[in-house]
Structure 1
Amino acid sequence: MRKKRKIALYNPYLNIFGGGEKHILSILQVFDRAGYKIDVLWNDKSVKDQINTDLNLKFNNLTVIDNFLLNEKISQKTIRTAIYDYFFYISDGSYFFSLAGHNYIFAMVPDRKLYDLTLKNRLKLLNWKFISNSGFTQNKLNALGIKSEYIYPYINTAIDRQIIKKEKIILTVGRFFPYLHNKNHKIIIELFKKFRRKSDLFKGNKLVLAGRCDSKDMAYLRDLKSLVKDDTDISLEVNVSHMRLLDLYRQARFYWHFTGYGIDESKHPEQVEHLGLSPLEAMSGQCLVFCFKAGGIKELVKDGFNGYLFTDENDLYNKMITAMNTNAADLKIRKNASDYIKKNFSYEVFESNVKKFFHI
């Protein structure tokens, strides 16, 4: 009987379940379904249940093991990597030797600080290859002298199957936190209030901000609540279930995405949108998406065809007014968006790409 093939994943950010975590774990799920055994290196065993509930990803052969990369000497941990056919790592700027059959660094953020390829690091990476999460990240890594291939994630293409009628909701989805690559919730709230004062077309619309919030970021959430105050047209939906999130995509007519707003991506590519899972999910749910024109999302949203790209406050306002006044064009663009996701981001396309890339 053939010995079960094994894979290891070490992601130092596994305590934060964002789009990048779902992306890499979705790749590993393809291996899981092909009969591979998955070891996740993490010292908190409860993360396995969180992968299931928070990311809606189910595995047959996934085990959470103590993180020997942190707990053992260099020689011991290097030897332990030899039992794996594949080793996947999301870099925090540190690197290590691996004796696994195939070694891949999954690059989610094109931040120069994460890829400081000193001579010592280059020696460690002799048998490693890089995978990017998008064409944007790939191009930025290439500028740093790092070659990579990219694998796009899949999007739930069934979101639009239960849409009955779109409501006057402007939705934005993203983690509530104030750090690098944040979603600019405060700006979104302020502009919604400003646009509502400026045009009657915004009256009757609701702004819904949905996302996860960790305990360490509660101060940021309190700041947002104080900004909303008693405004009944604005709601914060915190740590919503996967099913509730799908319902929001189905209900919302508009979707706003402000990651990277006001940032010069040529100077700070790490602060703009590297891919944009949430707006892609919104497109699948036939929301009319409005995304700040920067980073990876501008490669996917075609302005006026499957959504809108905006460059500043006035551009967003004018395009929102146009959309609110032209229902026929609104319907066509939303249909184009849904069709685009089905064609390019279905699970079948994703699974085929993963199997082809890794020769599964």
Structure 2
Amino acid sequence: MANSSEDTTLVENADHESVTIQRLTEIKPGLTTRYLHSKSLVEYLRPDEQPHFIFAARNKTVELEGPGAPSKPVQKGTGMVMHMVTDQRWLTVAANQDGDQSMDVPIESINGVTVETGGFGTHEVSFTTEEFGVVVPIGNMYDDEEIDAVHSWLVQHSSADGTGLKRLWGNDISSENEPQRAEGFDELADPEKHMNADPQGGWVTPERIQKMGDTLDEDENVHYMFKGGTIDVEGSTSGESLWGNDRDRKSSLKGIFTAITDKRVVINIPQFLGDDERHIPYSSIVSCDLDTGLVAKRVSLQTKGPTYHIQAQGVGKDELRTALRFVRDMAEEADKTVVQTESSEPDPTEQLKNITDLHESGVLSDEEFEEKKRELLDRI
């Protein structure tokens, strides 16, 4: 561990005033404030490493995307998620009562960076490498100028060119160096054209429809909407409850938007490197339920495949109940249509009698009769 004179030198040589003796060397600077559990940030430094920025966030760790992403550090118990930007790497350390967890990304590997300043809310710094991307939430104790400063520093010292994020993996990118918008979706040119729905919930506005990006068809109208932070996709078959590894959780710092339209239920999960879309036709929905828990509301849509558990925020319980009644009605109507379509098909037993008569009367040859008979027997 560095001595106090070395610590002072590190602070003096930092490019930004966010590097302080307290943030660098202490794990519990006050009676009610704890940074980390295991060791201070200075103890993570390599012998020749110089810190330039130190940021923190309460209870919000990084989000990672991409096949080469490292393990996400998990924050548990008291403490913060600390971020230290040095001349060599971006280091994240999450306070964890079972032992702090860390990850680092070499500065030279960063090829794209964006920031979103949150004013009085949480800021975000997003950056990419050739193999993965990272979203870093930063607390509102820092002002916009400090967040802009780390953006400028990263552009200057990494291979990022300042044009935005890069994505070098996945099949949906046409160019290896194509910049990607942090929002992860294309804005709609005219969101109001999707508002010609009756009934329509009070939470549906052009601004919120805009959040659906390009997931809606040109002639699709939105009846109800809600927003959440997480979605769990559970199981693979209707009627089963698989709570182990079959339950896949997705989250988005920008919010997961669900639209109940005149055609289907559409879920848009914005990821900073491209959105994840789920389209659920009414004909596949088996049941829908609302859990109005003490902490958060959750909508569950059970389909003939997976079950979707979607967090619902902002919208009142009454509007959600009305929205789910609409979903049930649309699912029942879609089911009736399927039954009518199936019942309108000719009965294969009757068809077998008909081709037998045609064969006996000489209209069908022996070969034609045998071929059609096999087809009909396969359907019985």
Please classify the TM superposition score into its range, dividing by the shorter chain length: under 0.3
Give the alignment's TM-score, normalised by structure 2: 0.23
Give the alignment's TM-score, normalised by structure 1: 0.24
Say which one has the larger Rg. 2
The structure whose residues are more often strand, as a share, is: 2
The structure whose residues are more often helix, as a share, is: 1
- Structure with higher RCO (Cα < 8 A, 6+ apart): 1
